[in-house]
Amino acid sequence: MFHVNQEPGARIHDTDPFATPDAERSPVRRMRGRLAAAVTLWTAGGDRVPQAGLTVSSTLVADGEPGRLLGLVDEESDFWTSASATGRFAVATLGPAHRQLADRFAGLFPAPGGLFATGEWTSTGYGPVPADAGAFMGCRLDGFREFGWSLLVEATIEVVEVVGESVPMVYHRGRYRGLAD
Please report, to the nearest 10 degrees, the dihedral formed by the alpha carbons of residues 30, 32, 33, 37 taken in order.
180
User: Residues 104-107: contacts with CB within 8 Å, 24+ apart?
Assistant: 105/41, 105/53, 105/54, 105/55, 106/54, 106/55
Q: What is the pLDDT of residues 113-155, one digit of tens each?
A: 999 999 999 999 999 999 999 899 999 999 999 999 999 999 9
Between 29 and 4, where is the model more confident? 29
Q: What average pLDDT score do residues 30-56 get?
A: 90
pTM confidence score: 0.84
Report the CATH superfamily, name and number, of domain 38-178: Electron Transport, Fmn-binding Protein; Chain A (2.30.110.10)
Domain residue ranges of the chain, discontinuous segments joined by +: 38-178
Q: What is the pLDDT of residues 82-92, one digit of tens each?
A: 999 999 999 99
The model's confidence at residue 10, banded by pLDDT at 50, 70 and 90, is very low
Q: Which residues contact 30 (CB under 8 A, 6 or more apart)?
A: 22
| % of the chain residues with pLDDT over 90 | 64
The model's confidence at residue 30, banded by pLDDT at 50, 70 and 90, is confident
CB 108 within 8 A of CB 174: no
Strand, coil or helix: what is 40?
A: strand
Beta strands 175-178 and 169-172 are antiparallel
In order of 2, 42, 146, 160, the CA distances from 107 in angstroms are 12, 14, 22, 27
